[in-house]
Structure 1
Amino acid sequence: MRQYGGAIIAVGSAACEFALPVQGMYSASKHAIKGFIDAFRLETEQERAPIAVTLIKPASIDTQLPDHAVNY
């Protein structure tokens, strides 16, 4: 990809931007993905590599996770 260019698209979650009650571990894992992608994007920009790095952050859609999740 460094030679010809391309795109890397990662799927995270809107939870990477803020903490969620009773879902701290989930928010932490999504924040880790965001941190990794941000660092990777900066590295490719520093190398002037023709690679676009994108993080998609969809929100939840009609999820019932809070109704069924248990936090230990």
Structure 2
Amino acid sequence: MRFLCLLLVVLFLVLQGVTGQPFILRPLNHCTLQNGRCFPGTCPHSYYWIDLCHNRYSCCKRYVEVQESLWY
């Protein structure tokens, strides 16, 4: 009987550490790592093409407007 209680405690401790982990690990999305988004076809007007996504979509990144500084 003690063996069953000990086994139950060990099983509980092992499963306790796994609760925060996802069961299926997704591969890294290289487009998201480059701050881009995946679009089917070509990139929209305010985006420019970076790379291809994993599903053969276009990885696009938004244009950033740079304001000139008035400091001389």
The one of the two structures with greater contact order (alpha-carbon pairs below 8 A, sep at least 6) is 1
Q: TM-score scaled by structure 1?
A: 0.28
Length-normalised TM-score, structure 2? 0.28
Which structure's residues are more often helix, by fraction? 1
